Amino acid sequence: MSQNDPFWTNIFRNKTPEEKLLDTFSLLPLFSKLSKRQVKLLVSLVSESIYQPHPYKAGEVVFEQGQEGSGMYVILSGSIGIYLDYHLGDQNMVAVIEAGDFFGEINLLDELPRTATSVAMENSELIFFHGREFRAALESNPEIGYEVMRSLSGVLAGRLRETDYLLRKKDERLRELEIGAADSDGK
């Protein structure tokens, strides 16, 4: 076994926080288009803007709709449910985010109020990217900044397309129901 083998490098010491971050970043779809060198540089750039809150218990609210948001969360373990008008109950759950994925990404770009409520579906561990510090770190390296923002835009565009599709389907369904109701009235 060579000295670069993870077994040997880890047997004598624990991984540094930067190495743990590197492992986490390498698995995230958001950074999947970056090369290893770019991911390593990204970790050194943004490690100061990453924080880890206490583990969330099942049912614990991560953030509420309307609360001023300041960054994005990445799920290390567990799952998070996204709700609209959470106080109205479960029927407004719009998505479930699993481990390895992220949520609240819009607030990586701005600090406007959150558009939905997120609640831990089970015991979950998250890490938080502080938007302002993250953007300031990326500004210092335009190459990495461009790749990360391109990747983020791609994810947002995909989610927007999916939302458009769901809305279209809902519209069509509503029209069908209205036509059906009009027909039965006519009879």
Asked if residue 44 binds other proteins (CB under 8 A), the reply is: yes
Residues contacting 169, CB < 8 A, separation 6+:
none
Asked if residue 77 binds other proteins (CB under 8 A), the reply is: no
Give the residue with the Cβ less far from other proteins, 62 or 148. 62
Asked if residue 65 binds other proteins (CB under 8 A), the reply is: yes
105-111: long-range contacts, CB 8 A cutoff, minimum separation 24? 105/72, 105/152, 105/155, 105/156, 106/69, 106/156, 107/69, 107/70, 107/71, 107/72, 107/131, 108/71, 108/72, 108/134, 108/135, 108/152, 109/135, 109/152, 111/68, 111/69, 111/70
Give the residue with the Cβ less far from other proteins, 51 or 146. 51
CB 101 to other proteins: min, Å? 19
Asked if residue 103 binds other proteins (CB under 8 A), the reply is: no
Give the residue with the Cβ less far from other proteins, 137 or 152. 137
Residues in touch with other proteins (CB under 8 A) = 40-41, 44-45, 47-48, 51, 53-54, 56, 60-71, 113, 128, 130, 132-133, 140-141
